[in-house]
Chains A and B, each alone.
Chain A
Amino acid sequence: MSTAENLAEKIDYEYLTSKLEELPTLPSIVSEINTVINDPMSTPKDIEDLMLNDQSLTTKVLKLINSAYYSIPGGIDDLGRAIGYLGYDAIYQLVLATSVFQSLKIDGDISFDINEFWKHSIGVAIAAEAIAKQVQYKNPQELFTAGLIHDIGKIAILKVEPELLMDTSMYARKNNLNMREAEEALNTYKHNIVGHIMAEKWKITGVFASVIKYHHTLNPAARVGISPEANLAIDIVMFANLFLHNLSFGDSGHEKKEKVPDELFKRLNIAGDDIPQIANTLKTGLQNAETFLKVIGS
């Protein structure tokens, strides 16, 4: 009997939550920066002062800003200028993404290709941002981060129950299911629920938390307590996720290619004809995904 089948009988989120407790917390700087960013009277200096306390994080964020992903001519070596160039929200999101990445680092040898996993996530991030721009979502950059962290539940499971995740992944591949369907079939932990537990643990709120929790829930009525803005964000990340699976970009644990439901096209007001254009916008971004991954994962 595989681990997945073993655990199927005792699917117990309380047990899992206690195991997740052992995972590192996000550095406090993440929430501190969030507070500063939400204060309209804050200045770039407030953020610089906070970041001074975490040199390695600052270095990494500056590296990301200067990576091919942003391709800023001449580069920026001053955080204050970076805030001016990219905006407050972008800096917070880079801090959040970097911290999530660091906290979910996998030590030791496993047979799950974590690099391919993050590659898929970055692909979703890039696509979500592109689609967000297309549908005029208020803050497209926010959806880059949402896309990047939408599947953190999978990594969390991988960290505390590696066998379980790999069995689920194998089951999904064998039966051409997506991970969520495989989890359902094996009656094991749902990665979106686990992701949401992590989000709560890490005090990740708002749109990010909603996307993590509901990125497999197509019906908006089934998404509980969600603002209209978050609903749109979930739709966009769902779309991006399915889109990227069709492009086979990276590997999030399964190989199922699903058609994007018409309902989603309609809700986002995207026509089938728009797809080539979206794919085109994605091209450069996806080419730079590896550089982004290298810097953030270093």
Chain B
Amino acid sequence: MENFQAIIDRANLGLIIYKNVSGEVTYANPYARECLLAQNDFNVLSLIAEAKRPNVKYLNKDLLFNESFSAELCLKKIDGQFLYAELGTMPASQEDDTYALIFKDITHQLKLRRDLLVKQDEIAKTYDDLLRQNEQLKELDKAKDRFIALISHELRTPLSAMIATSEVLKMDLVDSEEQRKEFNDTVYEQGQYLLEIVNDILDFAKIRAGKIDLYIENDPIKDFVDKLVTQFSKFAEDKKINLKVNIENETATCYFDEKRLRQIVSNVLSNAIKFSPRESTIYIEVQEDESSLFLMIKDEGDGIPADKTDAIFDEFVTLENINSHQKGTGLGMPISKTLSELMGGKLRIDLTYTDGACFVISLPKTKILDAEVYRPKQTDGEIDLDLIA
């Protein structure tokens, strides 16, 4: 029997003997005391924790005063912290009316299990992230391949035209001065078109790399609109399109980068002219509220279907459908939208206008961007490729 006591004292299992009903502990082996932090007399009822978590089984009176077994049970240690145990209870002595409780502390194992589950979850999430990113990269790679193929083609067409035409000029094979002028014009136009494409590619690359330098100043919008309309009037006249300007407040100013805004408006306006029927009107209007100025370009064309408006501004959709573009890179709109946002404004399509398409460019009336972008534009030095619309 002495031997038996020694085994229990050294056992890696907790043994507690306690009285029925009262729960008063009459014996607890060292393992039990150590796990429960019970140095002094204690009562098994004090091990009952308040049930807090719905998916956890807690020790209760029923289990204590009956024969029971639980694979995973929550107890409260003397210091109030939780202990999880594999636990069994049974009547110990009928004579003394006592019960015995045998338990193994499995808190550490459960903690490891929890940590493992969290880790597993994290690995699954990371794996999903990687798969998604991989998919996106593949798509992007494909789109870039298509883009390069198309752009090469797009670049070759005007180049071939320029070379063929200039060859004729070089060999002096023209019949008349008129024809010479015509050929000269072709070289010039094709050159301009080429530049347009190269500018788009450059801008797209710059935007992707976050390397667009802005020179934003507070300037009157009227001067800007007048200059641009003069520039486009010849182009519009060819289709007998009337450009009608209406500026609500002629002295209004706002913050914009002149070069970039011209790029945006030129893009919108040239599209409007391209898609407007002959002898129609394009309205260029400027309105304002407390914080912004709104530059609107309305045409009398077929308009843009509501379900296509997002796609127009999405460079990925543009790249995806690049084969269906009529001419050029199709990146003009995504570039214009990003440029507007970089200037603290927006470029959107007003769907409430139903007589054609209506593009709205909003521009801030106050400084809302980082201080460094508010600086005078560079006027001398480098050749401004972007200015040619």
Give, as a whole number of angstroms, the nearest-CB distance from A236 to chain B.
21
> Is A41 close to B, CB under 8 A?
yes
Residue in B110, B115, B118, B119 whose CB lies within 8 Å of A41:
B110
CB distance A41 to B53 under 8 Å? Answer: yes
CB distance B81 to A40 under 8 Å? Answer: no
> Is A88 close to B, CB under 8 A?
yes
Q: Which residues of B contact A (CB under 8 A)?
A: 53, 55-56, 74, 81-82, 84, 107, 110-111, 113-115, 118-119, 121-122, 125
Query: Contacts A81-B125, A84-B125 given: A40-B118 contact, CB under 8 Å?
Result: no
CB distance B110 to A84 under 8 Å? Answer: no
CB distance A88 to B82 under 8 Å? Answer: no
Query: Contacts A84-B118, A87-B115, A88-B115 given: A40-B110 contact, CB under 8 Å?
Result: yes
Residue in B84, B119, B121 whose CB lies within 8 Å of A40:
B84
Residue in B107, B113, B121 whose CB lies within 8 Å of A84:
B121
Q: What are 22 sample pairs from A and B whose C-beta atoms fall under 8 A apart?
A: A38-B82, A40-B107, A40-B110, A40-B113, A40-B114, A41-B53, A41-B55, A41-B56, A41-B74, A41-B84, A41-B110, A41-B114, A42-B114, A83-B118, A84-B118, A84-B125, A85-B122, A87-B115, A87-B119, A88-B111, A88-B114, A88-B118
A122 and B113 alpha carbons, distance in the complex (Å) = 31
CB distance A84 to B82 under 8 Å? Answer: no
A41 and B75 alpha carbons, distance in the complex (Å) = 13
A83 and B122 alpha carbons, distance in the complex (Å) = 9
A42 and B55 alpha carbons, distance in the complex (Å) = 11
CB distance A38 to B56 under 8 Å? Answer: no
CB distance B74 to A84 under 8 Å? Answer: no
Report which residue of B113, B114, B125 has the largest number of chain A beta carbons within 10 angstroms of its beta carbon. Answer: B114
A residues within 8 A CB of B115?
87-88
B residues within 8 A CB of A273?
none
Give, as a whole number of angstroms, the nearest-CB distance from A84 to chain B.
3
Interface of B is mostly: helix
> Is A274 close to B, CB under 8 A?
no
A57 and B204 alpha carbons, distance in the complex (Å) = 40
Per-residue B-contact encoding for A115-138, CB less than 8 Å = 1, 0 else? 000000000000000000000000
A38 and B115 alpha carbons, distance in the complex (Å) = 11
A85 and B119 alpha carbons, distance in the complex (Å) = 7
B residues within 8 A CB of A39?
81-82
CB distance A35 to B81 under 8 Å? Answer: yes
Give, as a whole number of angstroms, the nearest-CB distance from A40 to chain B.
3
For the A-B complex, the count of residue pairs with Cβ-Cβ distances under 8 Å equals 41
> Is A44 close to B, CB under 8 A?
yes
B residues within 8 A CB of A38?
81-82, 107, 111
A residues within 8 A CB of B82?
38-41
Closest chain B residue, CB of each to CB of A37 = B111
Closest chain B residue, CB of each to CB of A81 = B122
A13 and B82 alpha carbons, distance in the complex (Å) = 35
Size class of A's contact patch? 10 to 19
CB distance A44 to B110 under 8 Å? Answer: no
A172 and B119 alpha carbons, distance in the complex (Å) = 47
Closest chain A residue, CB of each to CB of B84 = A40
A38 and B110 alpha carbons, distance in the complex (Å) = 10
A residues within 8 A CB of B125?
81, 84
A289 and B125 alpha carbons, distance in the complex (Å) = 30
A88 and B112 alpha carbons, distance in the complex (Å) = 10
A38 and B107 alpha carbons, distance in the complex (Å) = 9
**Which chain A residues in 260-298 approach chain B with CB under 8 Å?**
none
B residues within 8 A CB of A44?
118
A residues within 8 A CB of B119?
84, 87
B residues within 8 A CB of A81?
122, 125
A35 and B55 alpha carbons, distance in the complex (Å) = 18
A residues within 8 A CB of B53?
41
- Which 10 pairs between the two chains have the least Cβ-Cβ distance? A84-B122, A40-B110, A40-B111, A84-B118, A40-B114, A39-B82, A41-B56, A41-B53, A85-B122, A40-B107
Give, as a whole number of angstroms, the nearest-CB distance from A38 to chain B.
6
A residues within 8 A CB of B74?
41
A residues within 8 A CB of B56?
41
Closest chain A residue, CB of each to CB of B80 = A35
Closest chain A residue, CB of each to CB of B74 = A41
Give, as a whole number of angstroms, the nearest-CB distance from A41 to chain B.
5
**Which chain A residues in 73-87 approach chain B with CB under 8 Å?**
81, 83-85, 87
Give, as a whole number of angstroms, the nearest-CB distance from A53 to chain B.
19
Give, as a whole number of angstroms, the nearest-CB distance from A224 to chain B.
16
A84 and B122 alpha carbons, distance in the complex (Å) = 5
Report which residue of A40, A44, A81, A87 has the largest number of chain B beta carbons within 10 angstroms of its beta carbon. Answer: A40
Closest chain B residue, CB of each to CB of A138 = B108
Closest chain B residue, CB of each to CB of A85 = B122
Closest chain B residue, CB of each to CB of A205 = B79
Per-residue B-contact encoding for A27-64, CB less than 8 Å = 1, 0 else? 00000000100111111100000000000000000000
Closest chain A residue, CB of each to CB of B120 = A84
Give, as a whole number of angstroms, the nearest-CB distance from B9 to chain A.
19
Give, as a whole number of angstroms, the nearest-CB distance from B107 to chain A.
6
Give, as a whole number of angstroms, the nearest-CB distance from B115 to chain A.
6
A43 and B110 alpha carbons, distance in the complex (Å) = 12
A88 and B122 alpha carbons, distance in the complex (Å) = 13
Give, as a whole number of angstroms, the nearest-CB distance from B110 to chain A.
3
A sample of 7 more A-B contacts (CB under 8 A), given A40-B82, A88-B111, is: A40-B84, A41-B53, A41-B55, A41-B114, A81-B125, A83-B118, A85-B122
